[in-house]
Amino acid sequence: MPIYKILDAALWARMQADGRLDGAPVDLADGFIHFSTADQVRETAAKHFAGQDGLILLAVDADALGEALKWETSRGGALFPHLYRPLALDEVLWSKPMPLQADGTHGIET
Protein backbone atom coordinates (compact mmCIF):
# COMPACT_ATOMS: atom_id res chain seq x y z
CA MET A 1 0.00 0.00 0.00
CA PRO A 2 1.45 3.37 -0.93
CA ILE A 3 1.80 6.19 1.56
CA TYR A 4 2.70 9.76 0.68
CA LYS A 5 5.17 12.44 1.71
CA ILE A 6 4.96 16.09 0.66
CA LEU A 7 8.27 17.90 0.23
CA ASP A 8 9.24 21.29 -1.09
CA ALA A 9 11.44 21.24 -4.18
CA ALA A 10 14.60 22.20 -2.27
CA LEU A 11 14.23 19.31 0.18
CA TRP A 12 13.46 16.90 -2.67
CA ALA A 13 16.64 18.07 -4.47
CA ARG A 14 18.64 17.56 -1.26
CA MET A 15 17.18 14.07 -0.85
CA GLN A 16 18.17 13.21 -4.41
CA ALA A 17 21.71 14.49 -3.82
CA ASP A 18 22.10 12.76 -0.42
CA GLY A 19 20.30 9.54 -1.33
CA ARG A 20 18.14 9.82 1.77
CA LEU A 21 15.77 12.04 3.70
CA ASP A 22 16.30 12.58 7.41
CA GLY A 23 13.16 14.68 7.47
CA ALA A 24 11.70 18.12 6.98
CA PRO A 25 12.05 20.54 9.92
CA VAL A 26 8.74 19.35 11.44
CA ASP A 27 9.86 15.72 11.12
CA LEU A 28 13.18 16.43 12.81
CA ALA A 29 11.40 18.27 15.63
CA ASP A 30 8.93 15.40 16.15
CA GLY A 31 11.50 12.59 15.85
CA PHE A 32 9.90 10.81 12.88
CA ILE A 33 9.01 11.37 9.23
CA HIS A 34 5.34 12.22 8.73
CA PHE A 35 3.44 10.44 5.96
CA SER A 36 -0.19 10.44 4.86
CA THR A 37 -2.45 7.85 3.28
CA ALA A 38 -4.22 8.53 -0.01
CA ASP A 39 -7.32 9.55 1.97
CA GLN A 40 -5.30 11.95 4.16
CA VAL A 41 -2.90 13.63 1.75
CA ARG A 42 -5.26 16.34 0.46
CA GLU A 43 -6.10 17.46 4.00
CA THR A 44 -2.40 17.38 4.91
CA ALA A 45 -1.60 19.61 1.93
CA ALA A 46 -4.39 22.04 2.82
CA LYS A 47 -3.49 22.18 6.52
CA HIS A 48 0.32 22.30 6.37
CA PHE A 49 1.19 23.54 2.87
CA ALA A 50 -1.60 25.99 1.98
CA GLY A 51 -0.56 28.41 -0.74
CA GLN A 52 2.93 26.92 -1.16
CA ASP A 53 4.12 26.38 -4.69
CA GLY A 54 6.87 24.05 -5.86
CA LEU A 55 5.78 21.02 -3.84
CA ILE A 56 6.55 17.41 -4.72
CA LEU A 57 4.49 14.37 -3.76
CA LEU A 58 6.43 11.17 -3.06
CA ALA A 59 4.87 7.71 -2.99
CA VAL A 60 6.45 5.01 -0.83
CA ASP A 61 5.44 1.38 -0.32
CA ALA A 62 4.40 1.21 3.34
CA ASP A 63 4.91 -2.55 3.51
CA ALA A 64 8.55 -2.21 2.42
CA LEU A 65 9.44 0.10 5.32
CA GLY A 66 9.36 -2.65 7.91
CA GLU A 67 9.02 -2.21 11.64
CA ALA A 68 10.33 1.37 11.58
CA LEU A 69 6.91 2.45 10.22
CA LYS A 70 4.38 2.97 13.01
CA TRP A 71 0.70 3.79 12.60
CA GLU A 72 -0.12 6.33 15.30
CA THR A 73 -3.17 8.35 16.29
CA SER A 74 -3.01 11.95 15.16
CA ARG A 75 -5.36 14.54 13.65
CA GLY A 76 -8.97 13.77 14.53
CA GLY A 77 -8.07 10.39 15.99
CA ALA A 78 -7.02 9.00 12.60
CA LEU A 79 -4.04 6.68 12.27
CA PHE A 80 -1.13 8.26 10.39
CA PRO A 81 2.04 6.52 9.21
CA HIS A 82 5.23 7.72 10.92
CA LEU A 83 8.69 6.50 9.92
CA TYR A 84 11.27 6.28 12.71
CA ARG A 85 14.37 6.24 10.52
CA PRO A 86 15.62 8.06 7.43
CA LEU A 87 13.87 7.38 4.14
CA ALA A 88 16.20 6.07 1.43
CA LEU A 89 15.85 7.51 -2.06
CA ASP A 90 15.52 4.02 -3.53
CA GLU A 91 12.41 3.48 -1.37
CA VAL A 92 10.53 6.18 -3.30
CA LEU A 93 8.21 4.57 -5.85
CA TRP A 94 7.56 7.81 -7.73
CA SER A 95 7.52 11.57 -7.39
CA LYS A 96 5.10 14.05 -8.96
CA PRO A 97 4.76 17.82 -8.82
CA MET A 98 1.81 19.22 -6.89
CA PRO A 99 0.93 22.33 -8.90
CA LEU A 100 -0.77 25.14 -7.06
CA GLN A 101 -4.25 25.64 -8.52
CA ALA A 102 -5.97 28.99 -9.04
CA ASP A 103 -8.15 28.33 -5.97
CA GLY A 104 -5.04 27.83 -3.78
CA THR A 105 -5.34 24.07 -3.49
CA HIS A 106 -2.78 21.62 -4.83
CA GLY A 107 -3.12 19.30 -7.78
CA ILE A 108 -2.66 15.86 -6.23
CA GLU A 109 -2.62 12.63 -8.18
CA THR A 110 -2.14 9.51 -6.07
Domains and CATH numbers, the chain: 2-98 (3.20.170.20)
Q: What is the mean pLDDT of residues 26-53?
A: 93
Output the pLDDT for position 57.
Answer: 97
Q: What is the mean pLDDT of residues 11-15?
A: 97
pLDDT in tens, 15-26: 999 999 999 999
In the sheet with 69-73, reading across from the earlier edge strand, the strands are 33-34, 79-83, 69-73
pLDDT in tens, 57-103: 999 999 999 999 999 998 688 899 999 999 999 999 999 999 888 77
With bands split at pLDDT 50, 70 and 90, how would you rate the model's confidence at 54? very high
Q: Say what the pTM is.
A: 0.92
Q: How far is Cα 85 from Cα 60, in angstroms, rounded to an integer?
A: 14
Under 8 Å between Cβ of 86 and 22: yes
